[in-house]
Homo-oligomer: A and B are copies of this chain.
Amino acid sequence: MASKATSSRAAPGVPKPKREEPQGGLPRNYLRASLLLLIGEAPVHGYDLLEQIAGLGLHTVDAGGLYRALRVMEGDGLVASAWEHSASGPARRTYRLTVEGGEWLHVWAGALRETHRYLSSYLDRYDDIVRSPDAVLPNAELPDAELPDAMLPRAEVPK
């Protein structure tokens, strides 16, 4: 297998696993959590969020989904918005955090902190397996050989 399918699409040889989704192994509802954080840092509008949010791991955000999430969050009372008519370009809807949104940001941060700890545990155990001499694993971390690069959970796993 392997051959040469570096094209972000799944290799034809792979039977079923279509886990090359953009969000790979990011937390559930991470979009919501990220939006709360960014809006909590400073009031922003959607298009700005669309560009900033890549820095939190959401590289290929669906713009529509982001705007939809914002409207839903406003409906839930987590954020509030106001139109801002700039001299250049279309009007922009600027969001700010509500009190309840702030509470939820705290809650989310707590949950993500716990997730962070569990991931540390997961990765430690994984490293133990890989380093283990009596590796149960069929083939341990081949430096740069057979591992099919087209079936990644996320599009790319840099660094």
Contacts and interface: CB of A to CB of B under 8 A. Distances in A.
A3 interface: no
A137 interface: yes
A39 B56 CA distance: 31
Identical chains in the assembly: 2
Interface in A119-139: 119-123, 125-126, 129, 136-139
Contacts of A105: 126, 129, 137
Interface residues of A, number: 71
Given A98-B138, A136-B97, A138-B102, A110 B27 contact: no
A16 interface: yes
B115 A37 contact: no
